[in-house]
Amino acid sequence: MKDIYNRYSEYLKEHYGCRVYKLPVNIPVSCPNRTGGLSGCTYCDEKGAGFDSLSGIFSVAEQLSKNIDYIGKKYKAEKFTAYFQNFTNTFLPVDEFKKYIEEACINGIVEIDISTRPDCIRSEYLNAMKDISDKYNVEITVELGLQSINPHTLKKINRGHTLAEFIDAALEIKKYGFKVCTHLILNLPWDDIDDCIEAAKIISVIGVDFAKLHSLYIAENTVMAREYSSGAFEICSLDEYADRVIEFLRYLSPDICIERIVSRAPKENTLFANWSRSTWFVRDYIENKMRMNGFFQGELFNYAGGSAVRRFFKN
């Protein structure tokens, strides 16, 4: 690794031999944490996780074709990932799920990324993905929201699952040869830097492939917005966020590729987003701090494989 961290964009170029563009896809799906009287994660707004994808009124193939046409012409792109981004994409009867995923296997799509929750992984869905992957020669990545490894924080933000479900799901997905991407929010007010370091260690030892780091933003009309407005918590400074990201990366396995280190937060309808700075400002702030201190991903990845007894084995 020549860079300060292992960038996902570089991985894609090396793996597919060219730049691969990720195209968001919406399907009519909900989330188990927002149904049956459950109120969802406290930071979740009405639109789910994605705010910039084409509306769900177009079919999967139409959404992708429109985007492929536009991006293909604009950037002379040839290879694309279909990214099922919003809500919990495996919270559907398995036949419906399979139909939507299969619809995405059009010319130019080399990979399918499926965003879901750790408590929505079952062998029926993984088998369906395997069938499609084999039939159409597409790779599969499953994106799992974990957000925090701290059980108290997970309760506080009403995630509705614990770390155990995440580990179970990630190990199950890996058995099928699919890639796993983990989403974490590193500035949750109830976490501290030790939680971030432990998160890096856990996803490293279970063999996660990619990580997406988010900076918490507070959307209007959410439970968290009400808590924030009432002064129930404060969000750490940008400098503290940078330190959390940097320590996370120093402890992370050098093999894990990083998709992002800060959220692309919407500007409108938020009470707090990226310390009122642009995504690029926050990213550069963190990267410059790493460079200035000579820090890099994986420099403290020394805890796996029996670290205490390693001293007895010279070779």
Interacting residues toward ligand SF4 by CB under 6 A: 31, 33-34, 40-41, 44, 48-49, 87-88, 117, 145
Closest contact distance (angstroms) between CB of 274 and ligand SF4 is 18
Give the separation between CA 192 and CA 197, rounded to whole angstroms.
Answer: 9
Nearer to ligand SF4, 133 or 148 (CB): 148
Give the separation between CA 17 and CA 69, rounded to whole angstroms.
Answer: 21
Closest contact distance (angstroms) between CB of 193 and ligand SF4 is 24
Amino acid symbol at 282: V
Closest contact distance (angstroms) between CB of 67 and ligand SF4 is 22
Closest contact distance (angstroms) between CB of 39 and ligand SF4 is 8
Give the separation between CA 223 and CA 227, rounded to whole angstroms.
Answer: 6
Could you tell me where the beta strands, DSSP code E, fall in the chain? 20-25, 79-84, 109-116, 139-147, 179-185, 210-214, 218-219, 257-260, 270-272
Nearer to ligand SF4, 117 or 201 (CB): 117
Amino acid symbol at 51: F
Nearer to ligand SF4, 34 or 250 (CB): 34
Closest contact distance (angstroms) between CB of 115 and ligand SF4 is 8
Closest contact distance (angstroms) between CB of 88 and ligand SF4 is 6
Closest contact distance (angstroms) between CB of 71 and ligand SF4 is 26
Helix (H), strand (E) at residue 123: helix 123-136
Phi and psi at residue 46, to the nearest 5°: -60, -30
Report whether 115 contacts 83 (CB < 8 A). Answer: yes
Nearer to ligand SF4, 4 or 146 (CB): 146
Location of structure tokens 């750490």: 236
Nearer to ligand SF4, 222 or 297 (CB): 222
Closest contact distance (angstroms) between CB of 270 and ligand SF4 is 15
Give the separation between CA 289 and CA 242, rounded to whole angstroms.
Answer: 8
Q: For residue 17, count other CB atoms closer than 10 A to its CB.
A: 10
Location of structure tokens 């200035």: 292
Nearer to ligand SF4, 113 or 247 (CB): 113
Contacts of 215 (CB under 8 A, 6+ apart): 185, 186, 187, 241, 262, 263, 265, 274, 282
Amino acid symbol at 275: W
Report whether 167 contacts 140 (CB < 8 A). Answer: no
What is residue 7's DSSP assignment? B
Nearer to ligand SF4, 38 or 171 (CB): 38
Nearer to ligand SF4, 21 or 217 (CB): 217
